Chain A
Amino acid sequence: MIRYIIARYKNKIEIPQLFIIMFLVIMVFVALHLDIPMNWIISDALIRLVMNGVLVLSLVPMLRAGIGINFGLSVGVIAGLIGMCISVNFTIRGLWGLFAGMLFAIPVAVVLGFVYAMILNRVRGKEEITATFVGFSFIPLMNFFWATVPFSNPAMLWPIGGKGMRPVIGLKSYFAKTLNDLWMVNIGGVNIKGISIGGINMGGVSTGGLNVPLGLLLFFFILCLLMALFFKTSFGRATIAVGENEQYASLAGVNIVRVRTVAIILSTIIAAIGICVYAQSYGFLELYDAPLMMAFPAASAILVGGSMGRKTDIVHVILGTFLFQTTYLISGPIANELMVSEVAEIFRLMVTNGIILYALLYEGGIGRNLHGKGSY
């Protein structure tokens, strides 16, 4: 794995990667200097990798099909939120609640993704800006829905009046952290009441040592594997062909509209699953305007991983999310200890948008689109 990454990246380290790796190294040193415990950072970094990784993974099908970054990620996110709301409304608790949420989200994502695909298929070559505004305008439209939807579980509704959803719904008694804690393994810590085999503790309460969320990681890697396998199928190959050269693919008899539609629906479904994983990890369901800007950190993460348009790999997703989220993770406590607490948030915004801007400038404009040269 490591050799594979090195071989891939030997001549490919670009400024964003260099910047973020340097930044990360400096921050790790500062964190060590400030006595922020390293085991805590590593186990939180693993959780955050998956927490955001699925959302980042959802960008892959559209990137590979040559549609570009899915700045309308909120469409898929909203499908996921609807699914989870249904699950909470039926008060399905525990891990099954989470999976039920995903299951309910998928049909919603298929429908929304289909409409979204119809829109994006009309505006070929201008998908990114259109997707941004389709995503933006979908949020206030859904606010109507959240404010009027007749769900009945009082935990989700405004306490006064009992109508309309709360902006933030606590998932503690439903499925918060269920996937996080699934098969959580502790290495090298002191264990009470659990099973301990050769320094590896399972179950019970562990103090110290390193917590590894095996179930969560397994879930993520299975999704990544499924995605990789999808691109090995004949339909997946057709998708890549469309991304590389639409005209050629069309001559080879590929139905471009169909391929693009499936890629967009797939992106939407994975985004819906991604927000389910995110929400269970975060412990809260955030409705209304919360998903508005979610696309940008995800886009930034995949770009840090080394994705350049169509040439996007699963490795980019994993590496990019890990680097990006770990810098986020460490910058928080460091900013709190050193100076003003807002710095972390400002830095996040700056890094997020700086990386996207760099990627846009690096890729350039002309030649990216096969048609409509230089004019509207």
Chain B
Amino acid sequence: MNIVPLVFLILSATAFWFSEMSLTFVLNEVITRFIRDGVMVLALIIPITAGMGINFSITVGALCAQVAMILAVDFQIPGFKGLLFIASIGGTLSIIMGTLIGLALNRVKNREMITTMIIGFFTTSIYQLIFMVGYGTLITPNNKEIMLSRGIGIRNMIDLELYRNLIDRIWFFTLGEIDIPLFMIFFVCGFGLMVKYSTITRVGKEFRVISESHEKATQLGIDVNIVRIKAIVASTVIACIGHYIYVQNIGMLNVYSAHTNTDIFSCAALLAGGATIARAKVSHSFLGIFLFHSLFVVSPQAGQNLFGNPALGEYFRSFVAYGTIAFALIMNYRNKRLE
């Protein structure tokens, strides 16, 4: 039995008590965060099922979504046509990037996590190079609005007026004081079901076999490397979709920093729900988002009320995010001692 969700429940409840916030406010915030981050957290499940650990390179999927969105704004493609454009560009890019990451990870079996992390950092710097330096020098923008005044590089913030809350407002209603974006809740849950379904189909069985033992999988006639690439591609594509949902919900694209820490927070949320490095289910991710984000919402105010310093609450929540991952790693590898 994993005690992490229980600890999170106690922490959230205590912090909520001291924050003196209203329940409806917290509930509204948590629902918003559920539809914002839900899909992103799901992106982590398939690589874990395939025994590759946490895929920190979901930031690359997020970057693919950002590239697609910047291009859509650059070409000024409005509404659902733009959505289609973003989906096709983002999807193609994330399949390509996912394949590349998969190929890289096949070289570093057993050290996947640190590699995905460095891949995330490395891709971020290439992305920054393209959009901060390449745009305006090598690439000519169509839309001068998004450029910095010096003519080189894209602004830090891009207004996504054309896409803001494009899909959030479908079937949207309020129940008392609580906002319920029904379509998005269905969408995230549907995605969850899809991920769950994909882990019980034939491909999903292959994931589980290779997570047990590569030798056994090879004997069964499974090409381990191909299955691992599939897992990473699926993860990257889901991350791309997840990040699109996140950014369109916020309505502004922070070009250079919207993707940072998505990996850490998604991972911490998943682990908060009771997942481990070796085993993760869709139910873990949904439970985890509620627990982790309710703690996230209330902790600065709780810090303010308890110690008179909101910064302490912020430190506390970053500590929780990093610490959960560190704890999961330590607990999970504890018994793998050398004889």
Contacts and interface: CB of A to CB of B under 8 A. Distances in A.
A365 B109 contact: yes
Given A346-B133, A356-B118, A364-B107, A119 B312 contact: no
B338 A374 contact: no
Nearest to A299: B118
A366 B132 contact: no
B125 A371 contact: no
A258 to B, nearest CB: 14
A58 interface: no
A343 B133 contact: yes
Interface in A342-363: 342-343, 346-347, 349-350, 352-354, 356-357, 360-361, 363
B258 to A, nearest CB: 17
A372 interface: yes
B129 A375 contact: no
Interface stretch (B197-205, B211-219, B236-244, B284-292): B211-219
B52 to A, nearest CB: 9
A365 B322 contact: no
A175 interface: no
A346 B333 contact: no
B115 A147 contact: no
Contacts of A130: 326, 329-330, 333
Nearest to B128: A346
Nearest to B326: A133
A374 B46 CA distance: 17
B327 to A, nearest CB: 8
Interface stretch (A10-18, A93-101, A138-146): A138-146
B333 A126 contact: yes
A144 B316 CA distance: 8
A353 B323 contact: no
B17 interface: no
Contacts of A143: 311, 315, 318-319
A104 interface: no
A26 B287 CA distance: 54
B247 interface: no
A134 B326 contact: yes
A256 to B, nearest CB: 8
B83 interface: no
Nearest to A335: B133
Nearest to A296: B121
Nearest to B212: A375
Interface string B318-339: 1100110110011011101111
B43 to A, nearest CB: 19
A129 B108 contact: no
17 contacts: A122-B337, A123-B329, A123-B330, A123-B334, A129-B114, A134-B330, A143-B319, A340-B132, A346-B133, A353-B125, A357-B104, A360-B115, A361-B107, A365-B112, A366-B110, A376-B278, A376-B332
Q: Top 4 closest A-B pairs, CB basis?
A: A137-B322, A140-B319, A133-B326, A365-B108
Interface of B: 51, 53, 104, 107-115, 117-119, 121-122, 124-126, 128-129, 132-133, 137, 150, 152-153, 211-215, 277-278, 309, 311-312, 315-316, 318-319, 322-323, 325-326, 329-330, 332-334, 336-339
Given A343-B132, A361-B108, A376-B332, 15 more contacts: A119-B330, A123-B333, A123-B334, A123-B336, A125-B333, A128-B111, A130-B333, A133-B325, A137-B326, A144-B312, A346-B129, A353-B122, A357-B119, A360-B114, A375-B214
